[in-house]
């Protein structure tokens, strides 16, 4: 028998057949059931046809977790690597007995990094049912910037919904998916994006309580990057202000998040620790800004490299003495490769006296797909990797000695298979699993929210100040700066966290 049951047998003497009726034991929490049994909600495995929660064997009631990410298209490696990291943690936990005996099951839908497709995957994973009332969350109907609202009525999860969403990939896709998740009162956890919109602001109103971020934000990455640019300028005795800073970014909400982070970081530093920085001029684009189209149709990234070269030539090199140009790149690996190679080829052809006084520093935000970018740029001559950095939101698995890095290396023994994105997926999933394990009540979004808010600090190497609280659903605020090496590996350059600021590695 595959579920715990009360059995009633009615047999009259000398009657050949018996009537057997089964009634599953009702429950509220797993503790109401016997050993090896768990309390499954209606519609869950083992209780698929039930009308109320009932006791079933644990292995028949998997905890089904949803994920929307690109596993096809030009940016597929971002989704594939994030998925691989999450599956590492799920397999590790399942091999250890699951969560109270329940296996973890990842239900991944491919959205090809397309916002329209992401909205469709949200409806599928959450089995969305349309109600008749007004939306609960302002983000559902009140359009976030650059995206229309996703519904004019309230939305609910249906019986075939996943328990929670974990590790969704991308900002433009998040803008379409997250409003549906929080409107249906579904936990939206550990998204692979550092955007402020929806995830770290009040766009979702009170519904933001369903959102938990693990990684540092793009604004924090921009702040760390700008502090590093300032440090390098001092070392080179070169001037640095907004005229020496360039933004190369994707022409959508992702790129906008990076550019907004750069502006905010510059203004804050100018007002606090770096008053010598020139005041930003009024207007929306005080920095030179070059944007490419998502998926990069027609090679828009290479064309913007030409514009960048013209800017450096006309605005920077006309000045005497050492010059520095810091380029903050809010990009993906394909566009980043085209742009960096074009600028580096130009720099390699400069007259020696010009090249010797010009430093061009490229710093990509973590979402770029650091390992995919490094594989495309690596060159024994250092032609393309020279002064190319990536700000990371997890420790550098190549040289960090924290326990979580050791565990990750043990799970991925092939060094060539390790990458920053899968490591982020693994860490996000480990924190998520810790919350599931800590939850002793029914697995509902409301219960999980309070459990995560009281989750003890975990040894995952994300900085001393990491953790959730009732007032802060952003687990980590730490950034690690890494430099791409000629062989495609990464060298740790700096560590940044709020308060102490930038600290260089030896």
- 128 and 180 in contact (C-beta within 8 Å)? yes
| Parent domain of 315 | 218-392+481-504
Which of the two residues, 82 and 144, has the higher pLDDT score?
82
pLDDT score for 12? 41
When the pLDDT of each residue in the chain is averaged and rounded to a whole number, the result is: 92
pLDDT score for 3? 37
In percent, the amount of the chain with pLDDT more than 90 equals 80
pLDDT score for 21? 54
- 47 and 61 in contact (C-beta within 8 Å)? yes
In percent, the amount of the chain with pLDDT more than 70 equals 95
Last residue of a domain, one of 43, 60, 77: 60
Q: Give the pLDDT band (50/70/90) at residue 23.
A: low
Q: Are residues 202 and 237 in the same domain?
A: no
Distance CA 147, CA 145 (A): 6
The label of the residue with tokens 């992401």 reads 118
Q: Are residues 264 and 350 in the same domain?
A: yes
pLDDT digits (tens, 9 = 90+) for 167-215: 999 999 999 999 999 999 999 999 999 999 999 999 999 999 999 999 9
Measured in degrees and rounded to the nearest 5, phi and psi for residue 187 equal -65, 130
Last residue of a domain, one of 38, 60, 82: 60
Q: Is the model's pLDDT at 4 over the cut of 50?
A: no
Q: Are residues 90 and 103 in the same domain?
A: yes
CATH code of 322's domain: 3.40.50.2300
Q: Are residues 212 and 225 in the same domain?
A: no
Worst-scoring range by mean pLDDT, 13-17, 84-88, 308-312? 13-17
Three-class SS of 259-313? HHHHHHHHHHHHHCCCCCCCCCCCCCCCCEEEEECCCCHHHHHHHHHHHHHHHHH
188-218: b or e for each residue (b if 16 or more CB lie within 10 Å)?
bbbbbbbbbbbbbeebbeebbbbbbbbbbbb
Number of domain units in the chain: 3
Mean pLDDT within 262-276: 92
Distance CA 408, CA 414 (A): 11
């Amino acid at each position: 028998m595959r579920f715990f049951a009360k059995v009633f047998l009615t047999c009259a003497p000398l009657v050949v057949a018996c009537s057997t009726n089964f009634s599953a034991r009702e429950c509220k929490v797993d503790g109401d059931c016997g050993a090896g049994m768990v309390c499954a909600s209606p519609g869950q495995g083992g209780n698929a046809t039930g009308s109320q929660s009932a006791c079933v064997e644990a292995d028949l009631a998997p905890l089904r977790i949803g994920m929307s990410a690109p596993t096809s298209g030009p940016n597929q490696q971002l989704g594939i690597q994030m998925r691989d990291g999450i599956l590492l943690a799920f397999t590790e936990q399942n091999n250890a007995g699951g969560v109270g005996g329940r296996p973890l099951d990842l239900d991944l839908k491919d959205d090809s990094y397309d916002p329209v497709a992401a909205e469709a995957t949200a409806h599928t994973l959450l089995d969305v049912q349309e109600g008749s009332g007004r939306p609960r969350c302002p983000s559902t109907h009140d359009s976030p910037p650059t995206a229309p609202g996703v519904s004019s009525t309230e939305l609910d999860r249906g019986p075939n919904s996943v328990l929670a969403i974990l590790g969704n990939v991308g900002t433009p896709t998040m803008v379409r998916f997250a409003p549906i998740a929080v409107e249906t009162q579904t936990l939206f956890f550990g998204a692979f994006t550092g955007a402020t919109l929806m995830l770290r602001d009040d766009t979702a109103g009170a519904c933001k309580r369903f959102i938990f971020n693990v990684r540092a934000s793009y604004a924090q990455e921009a702040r760390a990057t700008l502090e590093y640019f300032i440090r390098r300028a001092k070392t080179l005795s070169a001037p640095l202000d907004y005229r020496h800073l360039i933004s190369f970014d994707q022409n959508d909400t992702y790129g906008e998040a990076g550019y907004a982070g750069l502006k905010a970081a510059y203004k804050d530093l100018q007002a606090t620790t770096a008053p010598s920085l020139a005041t930003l001029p009024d207007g929306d684009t005080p920095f030179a800004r070059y944007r490419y189209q998502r998926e990069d149709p027609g090679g828009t990234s290479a064309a913007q490299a030409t514009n960048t070269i013209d800017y450096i030539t006309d605005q920077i090199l006309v000045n005497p003495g050492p010059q520095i140009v810091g380029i903050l790149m809010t990009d993906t690996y394909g566009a980043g490769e085209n742009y960096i190679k074009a600028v580096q080829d130009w720099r390699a052809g400069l007259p020696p006296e010009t090249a010797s006084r010009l430093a061009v520093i490229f710093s990509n935000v973590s979402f770029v797909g650091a390992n995919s970018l490094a594989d495309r740029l690596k060159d024994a001559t250092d032609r393309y990797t020279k002064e190319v950095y990536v700000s990371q939101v997890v420790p550098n698995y190549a040289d960090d000695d924290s326990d979580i890095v050791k565990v990750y290396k043990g799970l991925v023994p092939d060094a060539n298979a390790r990458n920053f994105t899968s490591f982020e997926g693994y860490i996000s999933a480990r924190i998520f699993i810790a919350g599931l394990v800590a939850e002793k009540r029914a697995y509902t979004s409301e219960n999980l929210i309070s459990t995560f808010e009281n989750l003890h600090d975990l040894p995952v190497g994300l900085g001393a100040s990491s953790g959730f609280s009732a007032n802060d659903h952003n687990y980590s605020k730490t950034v690690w700066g890494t430099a791409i090496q000629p062989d495609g590996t990464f060298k740790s350059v700096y560590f940044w966290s709020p308060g102490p600021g930038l600290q260089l590695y030896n």
